[in-house]
Amino acid sequence: MLKKTPLNRIHRDLAARMVDFGGWDMPVQYTGVIDEHLATREAAGLFDVSHMGEVEVRGAGALAYIQHLTINDAARLEIGQVQYSAICYPHGGIVDDVTLYRFAADRFLFCVNASNADKDYAWMEQVLEEGDFPDVELRNLSDDYAQLALQGPAAETILARLTTHNLKDIRYYHFAEGQVAGVPTIISRTGYTGEDGFELYFAAEAAESVWTALMAAGSEEGIKPCGLGARDTLRLEMKFALYGHELSSEISPLEAGLGWITKFDKGDFIGRDALLKQKEKGVPRRLAGLVMTDRGIPRDGYPVFAGEEQVGTVTSGTMSPCLKVGIALALVRPECSGVGKELSIGIRNRQVACRVAKTPFIKNWRD
């Protein structure tokens, strides 16, 4: 049986198109992917992301444990700050990419991908049991939290109507604990769209009331409920990785363009030796952004060619609603990953021209 978020009834009342997403009954669209995508870029979109998982780490040894578990340097986190990171296997493949919240010297919260939540928690428990971290407590709080993502240029204006907290004090990748619509909430200035916005964590039983309050508060700005379809096209325009596509147990952070969060100088961590060897030897493939120069829409799994030779594979692809051209992310040979490189993608048994582009794809799309 599919899992349901606390907002399932509302999604169905709104006649959302529902799909099975990683074992969850989730809305893929309401009024249409392009409509919801552009609403988020131009005004505000509201996303139910309550399927995401949350794992709390507490105790005197929490930081040491997290340093061993993740590839980024959690010691750099200030209280009230969020960090993008990843968890790896010993061979360097990725267990999951995560966001890490620091509440105190000895209290942290991971937000993990929905389809990976059970796997991630089992891996975290295994690492804890096999290591020397006696003063650490793990708690899977995924069922306790609902999570909404309010994204878009009008997000701050809308949220300000429902909280007394000064939102301008919350910098990018920072958070505060306050109230939204009278509900105790973790207010995080983060997101997966490339727009300004907030991810809001609160008790699951308050989900419908907070959703309804946000939709009402944003009516003047044209807020729209948004599904997984727009969430995917928005993140793809920004070259944000998605687990199962750009990230997996067979893809390393260095291949996926996450060398910037792989901190070899922080000390030992799971996967460090394998990743260091890969760094010294050179990665066999790199993640590149591709823009179609002939007509065609690239999709996950399509082959990428240099001349007649296959040099890579598309990991994600779509028609960009903002650029109105096909865009893709692909793992390609390093020598084919330079900006401006002319390549092609196999679409319906023919090679369609593309080139390697600067990313994010939409950096100056409003100009």
When pLDDT is averaged across residues 58-86 and rounded to a whole number, the result is 98
43 and 150 inside one domain:
yes
The pLDDT value given to residue 367: 46
20 and 92 inside one domain:
no
165 and 223 inside one domain:
yes
Compute φ and ψ for 19, nearest 5 degrees.
Answer: -140, 165
Point out the domain boundary residue: 113, 133, 153. 133
Q: Which helix (H) or strand (E) holds 344?
A: strand 342-347
12 falls within a domain: yes
- Our measurement of the distance from residue 348's CA atom to the centroid of its chain's CA atoms, rounded to an integer in Å, reads 30
221 falls within a domain: yes
213 and 291 inside one domain:
no
Number of domains in the chain: 3
Give exposure, 206-231, as e/b (b: 16+ Cβ within 10 Å): bbeebbebbbebbeebebbbbbbbbb
27 falls within a domain: yes
115 and 160 inside one domain:
no
The pLDDT value given to residue 363: 75
250 falls within a domain: no
248 falls within a domain: no
Whether residue 364 has pLDDT greater than 60: no
CATH of the domain at 101: 3.30.70.1400
CA dist 354 and 357 (Å) reads 9
Whether residue 155 has pLDDT greater than 90: yes
1 falls within a domain: no
DSSP for 49-101, please give it. -TTSEEEEEESTTHHHHHHHHBSS-GGGPPTTBEEEEEEE-TTS-EEEEEEEE
Compute φ and ψ for 299, nearest 5 degrees.
Answer: -135, 160
126 and 149 inside one domain:
no
Point out the domain boundary residue: 133, 165, 191. 133
CA distances to 46, 188, 241 from 174, in Å: 20, 6, 21
104 and 171 inside one domain:
no
**Is the C-alpha dihedral spanning 21, 124, 96, 94 positive or negative?**
negative
pLDDT digits (tens, 9 = 90+) for 121-134: 999 999 999 999 98
338 and 304 inside one domain:
yes
Domain containing residue 112: 53-133
324 and 218 inside one domain:
no
Give me the residue label for tokens 């995080």: 188
Q: What is the pTM of this model?
A: 0.96
230 falls within a domain: yes
Point out the domain boundary residue: 109, 133, 157. 133
The binding site comprises 199
Whether residue 35 has pLDDT greater than 50: yes
The binding site for substrate comprises 199
197 and 225 inside one domain:
yes
Give exposure, 116-141, as e/b (b: 16+ Cβ within 10 Å): bbeebbebbeebbeeeebeebebebe
pLDDT digits (tens, 9 = 90+) for 280-306: 999 999 999 999 999 999 999 999 999
CATH of the domain at 221: 3.30.1360.120
> pLDDT over 70 for what percent of the chain?
99
When pLDDT is averaged across residues 40-46 and rounded to a whole number, the result is 98
193 falls within a domain: yes
76 and 118 inside one domain:
yes
Token pair listed for 153: 């240029």
310 and 367 inside one domain:
yes
Whether residue 366 has pLDDT greater than 70: no
pLDDT digits (tens, 9 = 90+) for 200-217: 999 999 999 999 999 999
Band the pLDDT of 119: cuts 50, 70, 90: very high
| CA distance between the termini of the chain | 47
